Structure formats: structure tokens, C-alpha cells
């Protein structure tokens, strides 16, 4: 049966990365009108903003507070979170989450991880049961001795299949259309395969969401994407996300894609520590190499059936994002400053980031707790060294001894 | 039979990297006196030098020309090529190559590649037929449609087995004992295995030196290391090369180790090109990732039986050396300047390097010629783009289209 309907795409979240992904989606739905409805809806957490005085749109609005959605839809620019970037006119901002997800067959999640649970609660019951999701939320949730991918959280809460997108994707650089790449992890449920690939006949199948070894599975029922819609597979996702400046590689390894985006921040702190000491390029490269090794070991230990080592060593979500984060960004910069100034990373967070917390610091701590709980700290000397240096229990000068195989 | 003799180690070459490796070797032979003779000989291409006026040793020698070997042996410093670094007193400089190789059971080659052939000619017939070699010579020789590793060249000329050492090892940083790593490729000839590992009984076996597919093999006869000497295996090489600040990983893949050190320079030029455009961290990370991919493909295509992909993705000789070279060093710097100033890389070589040639430029050209001869340019879009940008046939702005999978 040839598809007669088109996919309706919505993006949930409108920060700088959400707006950038919204721009890409809308560019592609306009270009592939055979497959997608042209308009892309973008859910915006509504706020009253003042258009900045240096904005080209300041004249129009003056200093009067405005609804962010109104300004986006009138100016086609997210003047607050992605200023200076023209958004496609078919990217439609909406403050109403129910409106945003209604009829959407593809939901792209792109919001800070601390808002995901509350947002999913608001979506529940208002989305199509056969929608498919892509999570662009960086990181993983580690607590209580378990690692949860945000894509799994979405599956458990909304009972829809969800993949993950991650890569060396600093939002303003992607928005400026500078050459870069990303990785999408998407392992379609069996019912979404073509009949030649052995799709089952059922419209509803039970799936166990259980990626991390030892974790108790959550059973959910997945509904088939109706056959009058185009197949949601790697090819379709490339059509939706790839641009001439944004290369997309689709892999099956959802867990590896998500883990790469989380663990890289710990390695970036280590890279900052040795840079702060002035130890040079050799040392930073050694830290990156050891970091990749521990990322692989982490994946292999807790996601043995799903993780593919190549996600870490050959994909944008792995090595490329790691390298970019070890040479640019807040984690490496703050760690460098801490060592140069002889203060703790915490003091740098206070001083340079108005108390905002570095992603790498919290990840290093939760990863350490997780490893400790499983009695595996010795297998991850770099990850643990970073946490111990943050805590003041070890010094950067201890790194050679801590990383040496000879104990 | 327990070994009753000790290995005599010599290093051939005394530039900044040769002197640094000499320092490491002499530190280790002094520490492991059960396995090695304490004194390490270092062959120095003799020259008359003036001790620089800012040297701590200038007072002793004044402005009178001195023999470099004499100054090294009296001051334990290579004042010309590695100034400011104290060398161990058991590292003995000699200008006489025959003297340097006489009785040496382990020969470490560390000199610029353009001198290797002439030096090997001088060694022929004066070395022990059962010596084993390690080549620290960066790069590979590509000509006439074949790729020759310098370790193979040594095997063919001296009829001794030779491995390779490479990694993210900027010499002054290693000499300053800053934390770093290296990779040694060593695949011992069967006769050097222990009897449990299935060593043949022969003292002399014929070996075909033929690593690159399609290349005509050279047959050489290898002589067994006498059994009164310690086994030359990975463990012994770690003892000889590893220091608390210099981690060593021994792998079997000699070809991968050598190829990594050559091909990285081509990728470093590409990294410089995009940096010169101001394209940011995402783009540089994408270039590195694509570069690793083409390095793997190169190895897989022409050294299918010997190359292990992990050498490129997980070893210091692969990803770490590549990353270090894409963020520091002459190739990336010169390419950046060329783009920033809107001139060719050749003009930068003239202007900033007194006409000295960049390693990456010649490698890009010979690799292109090699690929072209084998009809494989399309499989290596990044390598070929670098050569074409150098030649002025393509622009840096063409990179997104050149690297896109969609043609």
C-alpha cells in the first residue's frame, strides 16, 4: 500500500538548539513536500520578553514586553535564544503543548533535561499513539544505580518508540550553517519494518524497555505507524534532518549515541585540567584517547547487547563530539581556569557562571556514584580521577600515576 | 634455557626526537640492569657546532666550534637539538656508525626519513644478523604506486625484523616528561616466540616482506635471537620504552602504526583550512572524524591482512596523534594562515618556513597520485580535497559538497 498521507512534524523546545533543529526540520519539510506536511510546529515555553536593543527588530517592538511566540511568528527569529538567525516561515511557534503535539506523527524533543518529565506529563494522552520520537536531549539520567536514556524515558511515558540525535553540534555554529555532522540512533520497532524485512502482522506489540543490563524492564505497547504514512526509517530521518551543511548518519545504537553525549563532558573536564597545567597537545590527546577507551568500556559493561563500539570511535556522537568538547565549550574552559587560578571548579562556577552548574561536574559525580555502587571504579581511572580532582581528593599532578596501568 | 646475556641497545639518530628517545632508553636500561646493558649508544651525525650564547654550557666552551658528540658526552645535553634537557650519563654519543651498531642487539632508528637509505647502506654488514629493530621514523614512503613502511625498508636492507613506534609525541613535550602515550607495532617473527607459543626449531627462516597488497615480496632470511638473550617481545619493549610519564601500548599492527603517522598530516591541513575560515569546533571535529574514516579505509584497502582498524580509532598512533596534529603543529598552523591571508600553502612555506616543506603537502600529493593510479580517488574525498585545495583546483568553500555522500 503506497502512503497517501504525509508526516506532521513537531519540535518540543525552542532554546538555541531547539530553534536550530526547528530551522533544519522546516527547511526539509518544505523541500520534501511529498513526505512531510510543510508546516512544522515548535512548542515554546511562553515568556514575556523584551526585544534586545541591538536587535534588528527592536524598532518594531520598542521596549514593551512581548510574548516570545508572537515575536517568533512575526519576525521569524528567536530574538531571545537564537538572535540573528532567520528561521523559515513554515516553522510555527506555539505556546500550547497540546496544540503542538496534536496530529504530530513525528515528535522531536529538544529541551533541557530538567524539564523533560514535566513536559511529558503534559503531553500524555494528547499525542498520537503511533507517533515516533527523536530525542535531541543531551546526556543520560543516572540515579539509584541505573542509567536511563532520555529516549527510554519518553518511550516509557508516552508509549511511543523514540530514537536519539547527538553529535558535535554547537547550536550557533549549526544555525550559521557551518559544515558539521550528527548521528541519529534509531532502531525501529519490528512492526515498522517493511514486510520484506520481516515485519510482524500485528498493529500492536509489547516491547520491553530495558537497555541497561540488570535493570527491571518496563513493558509498553507500541502501535504500528499506519501504512498510509511513509515508513519511518533511516532514509526518512535523513530526509528530515540532513542539510547540505549538516550531514546525518543513522545507526541502530541509540544507547551509544546518548552515552557519548553524556560521558564526553567528564573527559572535557580532564582535558581542561591538563591544559590548565600547560601540559601541551600530547597530554590532551592522551586524555581524549583514554576517555574514548572508558566510554567504550562503560557502554560494553552496561549496554552489552545494544552498544556498538564504533558509535564511540567513528561517529559524530562519539569521537567528534568528544574532541569538540575537549577544545571548546564551558567544561574544558572552566576546568582550565580552575587549575590556572589554583581554585576549585566549584569556585569557577560561582565566579564565572553565576553559580550555574557545569554539565561535566554533575555527570562526573553521578557516574562515580554509579561505578562505586557496582564496584567498578578501578576499571574507569580517568572518570574517577575527574570526580576526585573536583572533590579535592586528588590533584591534577596525580594523573600520570592514576592512569598508569602499573599500580 | 634462562638468558645469561643482556641486550645492548643503540639509537640511530640524535635530532630532538632521537635524543628524547635516547634519554628514555638510557633511563630504562639503567633501571632494568637484569635485562639490558646499562650504556646506550647514540649515533650522532657529527657536526661542528657553536654552543649557543644562551646555553648554560656557553661559559665552558665559549664561541669556539666544537664537535657535537664531544659536547653531548661532556655536558649530557644535546645543546643544538634538544637544549635545556638533561640526558642520562649512560647515553653515549658516537659519530661512528659502525661503532654505534656493533654488538647492538636492539637498534632503534630515529632519524629524518630522507637520511634512512644512506644510513642503512653504512650499517649493512656491520650489525648483528640477529638484531631486532624499532623504527621511530614518521611516515611511509609512497612512490611508483606502492606504499613502503620504513620498518620494511630496514628489514629489506639489513635482514633483521623491525617494528615501528609512533604516537602523539611532540618531542620537546616528551623530553619535558609531560604525560603522554605512544604505540609500538611489533609482530615478532615466529622464531622469536616462546616454545609454548609454537616457535619453530629453525635458527634461520625465510620471511616474505610484503605488507602492501599487490606488492612484489622481497624474500629475506631472518636469524633467531640467541636463546641466551631475553625474548624480544611486547613485555620487553614496554620495559625498554615505557616511563612513568610515557605510556606504551604494544600492538601487532606495524602497518597501521606507520600509516597513522603519515596520513594524519593530510587531515591536519584540512583542519587548518577550515580553522582559517573560522568555521569553528563542529567543523574541525567533523574533519577529524572523516579523516579517521579515510585512514581506516586506506589501511583496509591496501593492508587488509595486517591492519587492525583499532590502531586508528583507539591507539595513540591513530586518533591521539591525529587530534594533536589537528590542534597543534606546523601543518595545521600553516594551512590556517594560508586561508586567513588568502594565499597558497606554498606561499606560506616560502614566507614562514624559509621554503622548508610541510610534511602534509608532500604526503597529500603522493597519496593522491597513489589513489589516482589505483582508480580510488572517489573513495577518499577528504584526502583528495586537500591535495586539490593545495593545487588551487578546489576551494575550501567546496568542502561541504566534496564531502557530502550525496553526489
Write the pLDDT tens digit of every residue in B224-252.
999 899 999 999 999 999 999 999 999 99
CB contact under 8 A, A181 and B288: no
Residue with cell 647502506: B121
Considering only the beta carbons, identify the residue of A170, A179, A320 that sits closest to B399: A179
Q: What is the pLDDT of residues B299-355, one digit of tens each?
A: 999 999 889 999 999 999 999 999 999 999 999 999 999 999 999 999 999 999 887
A295: pLDDT strictly greater than 90: yes
CA distances from A192 to A132, A187, A195, A226, B390 (A): 10, 10, 9, 9, 47
Q: What is the mean pLDDT of residues B167-179?
A: 96
Q: What integer pLDDT is reported at residue B406 of this predicted model? A: 60
* Statement: residue A383 has pLDDT above 90: yes
Is B15 marked within a binding site? yes
Which is the catalytic residue, given B6, B80, B264, B284? B264
Cβ-based contacts of B323 with chain A (< 8 Å)? 284-285, 288, 323
Closest-approach residue (CA) in chain A for B328: A281
Beta carbons of A288 and B327 less than 8 Å apart: no
Which of A206, A264, A394, A406 does the annotation list as catalytic? A264
Stretch B174-201: mean pLDDT:
88
Q: Is the pLDDT of residue B144 over 80?
A: no
Is A264 an active-site residue?
yes
At A305 the pLDDT is: 87
Average pLDDT over residues A380-386: 98
Question: Is the pLDDT score of A381 beyond 90?
Answer: yes
Interface A-B: count of C-beta contacts within 8 A:
154
- A288 vs chain B: nearest CA distance in angstroms? 7
**pLDDT value for B333:** 96
- How large is the average pLDDT for residues A235-258? 97
Chain B contacts of A179, Cβ < 8 Å? 274, 279, 282-283, 286, 399-400, 403
Contacts of A289 in chain B (CB under 8 A): 168, 181, 314-316, 319-320
Contact A328 B280 (CB under 8 A): yes
User: For A298-311, what is each residue's pLDDT tens digit?
Assistant: 999 999 988 999 99
Q: Which domains does chain A have, with CATH numbers?
A: 9-252 (3.40.50.720), 257-403 (1.10.1040.10)
Tell me: pLDDT of A288 over 80.
yes
pLDDT at position B140 over 80: yes
Q: What is the pLDDT of residue A380?
A: 98
Give the mean model confidence (pLDDT) for residues A143-149.
85
Digit-coded pLDDT (tens) for A97-127: 999 999 999 999 999 988 999 999 999 999 9
User: Is residue A144 pLDDT above 80, yes or no?
Assistant: no
Mutate to test the interface with B, among A286, A291, A295, A315 (most CBs of B within 10 A): A286
Mean pLDDT of chain B: 94
pLDDT per residue as tens digits for the range A356-366: 889 999 999 99
pLDDT at B1 over 90: no
Query: What value does the mean pLDDT take over residues B248-273?
Result: 96
| Nearest CA distance, B237 vs chain A (angstrom) | 15
ipTM: 0.94
Nearest to A288 among B280, B323, B328 (CB): B323
In this prediction, residues B285-312 reach a mean pLDDT of 95
pLDDT at B407 over 60: no
Cβ-defined contact of B289 to A316 (cutoff 8 Å): yes
- B39 pLDDT exceeds 80? yes
Who among B281, B324, B403 is closest to A285 (CB)? B324
Is residue B193 pLDDT above 90, yes or no?
no
The band of B256, judged by pLDDT with boundaries at 50, 70 and 90, is very high
CB contact under 8 A, B324 and A293: no
| Each residue's pLDDT tens digit, B61-105 | 999 999 999 999 999 999 999 999 999 999 999 999 999 999 999
Q: Does the structure show a pLDDT above 60 at A407?
A: no
Facing B320 at nearest CB: one of A285, A316, A324: A285
Check whether B360 has a pLDDT greater than 80: yes
Q: Which pLDDT band, with edges at 50, 70 and 90, does B208 fall under?
A: confident
Written as nine digits, the cell of A52 is 534586545
- Closest residue, chain A, to B313 (C-alpha): A313
**pLDDT value for B13:** 97
**Is B6 labeled as ligand-binding?**
no
Give the separation between CA A104 and CA B123, rounded to whole angstroms.
75
Site from A281, A314, A405 to mutate, B interface, most B CB atoms within 10 angstroms: A281
A403, closest residue in chain B (CA to CA): B247
Choose among A179, A280, A323: nearest Cβ to B400.
Answer: A179
Specify the pLDDT at position A199: 74
Amino acid at each position: 500500500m503506497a502512503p497517501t498521507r504525509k508526516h506532521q512534524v513537531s519540535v518540543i523546545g525552542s532554546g538555541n538548539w531547539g530553534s536550530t533543529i526547528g530551522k533544519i526540520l522546516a527547511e526539509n519539510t518544505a523541500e520534501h513536500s511529498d513526505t512531510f506536511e510543510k508546516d512544522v510546529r515548535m512548542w515554546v515555553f511562553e515568556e514575556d520578553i523584551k526585544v534586545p536593543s541591538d536587535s534588528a527588530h527592536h524598532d518594531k517592538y520598542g521596549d514593551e514586553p512581548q510574548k516570545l511566540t508572537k515575536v517568533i511568528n512575526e519576525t521569524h527569529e528567536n530574538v531571545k535564544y537564537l538572535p540573528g538567525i532567520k528561521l523559515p516561515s513554515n516553522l510555527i511557534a506555539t505556546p500550547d503543548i497540546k496544540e503542538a503535539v496534536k496530529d504530530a506523527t513525528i515528535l522531536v524533543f529538544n529541551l533541557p533535561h530538567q524539564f523533560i518529565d514535566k513536559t511529558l506529563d503534559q503531553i500524555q494522552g494528547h499525542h498520537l499513539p503511533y507517533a515516533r520520537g527523536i530525542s535531541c536531549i543531551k546526556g543520560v539520567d543516572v540515579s539509584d544505580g541505573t542509567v536511563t536514556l532520555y529516549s527510554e524515558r519518553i518511550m516509557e511515558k508516552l508509549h511511543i518508540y523514540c530514537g536519539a540525535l547527538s553529535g558535535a553540534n554547537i547550536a550557533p555554529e549549526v544555525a550559521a550553517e557551518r559544515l558539521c555532522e550528527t548521528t541519529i540512533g534509531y532502531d525501529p520497532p519490528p512492526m515498522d519494518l517493511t514486510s520484506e524485512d520481516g515485519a510482524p502482522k500485528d498493529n500492536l506489540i509489547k516491547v520491553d524497555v530495558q537497555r541497561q543490563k540488570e535493570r527491571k524492564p518496563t513493558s509498553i505497547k507500541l502501535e504500528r505507524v499506519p501504512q498510509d504514512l511513509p515508513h519511518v526509517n533511516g532514509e526518512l530521518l535523513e530526509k528530515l534532518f540532513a542539510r547540505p551543511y549538516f550531514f546525518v548518519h543513522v545507526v541502530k545504537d541509540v544507547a551509544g549515541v546518548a552515552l557519548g553525549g553524556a560521558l564526553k563532558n567528564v573527559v572535557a573536564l580532564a582535558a581542561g585540567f591538563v591544559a590548565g597545567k600547560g601540559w601541551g597537545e600530547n597530554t590532551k590527546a592522551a586524555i581524549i584517547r583514554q576517555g574514548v577507551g572508558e566510554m567504550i568500556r562503560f557502554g560494553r559493561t552496561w549496554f552489552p547487547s545494544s552498544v556498538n563500539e564504533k558509535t564511540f570511535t567513528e561517529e559524530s556522537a562519539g569521537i567528534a563530539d568528544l574532541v569538540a568538547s575537549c577544545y571548546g565549550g564551558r567544561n574544558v574552559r572552566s576546568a582550565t581556569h580552575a587549575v590556572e587560578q589554583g581554585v576549585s571548579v566549584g569556585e569557577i562556577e560561582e565566579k564565572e557562571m553565576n553559580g550555574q552548574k557545569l554539565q561535566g561536574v554533575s555527570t562526573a559525580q553521578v557516574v562515580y556514584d554509579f561505578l562505586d555502587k557496582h564496584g567498578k571504579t578501578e576499571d574507569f581511572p580517568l572518570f574517577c580521577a575527574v570526580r576526585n580532582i573536583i572533590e579535592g581528593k586528588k590533584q591534577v599532578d596525580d594523573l600520570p600515576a592514576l592512569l598508569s596501568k602499573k599500580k
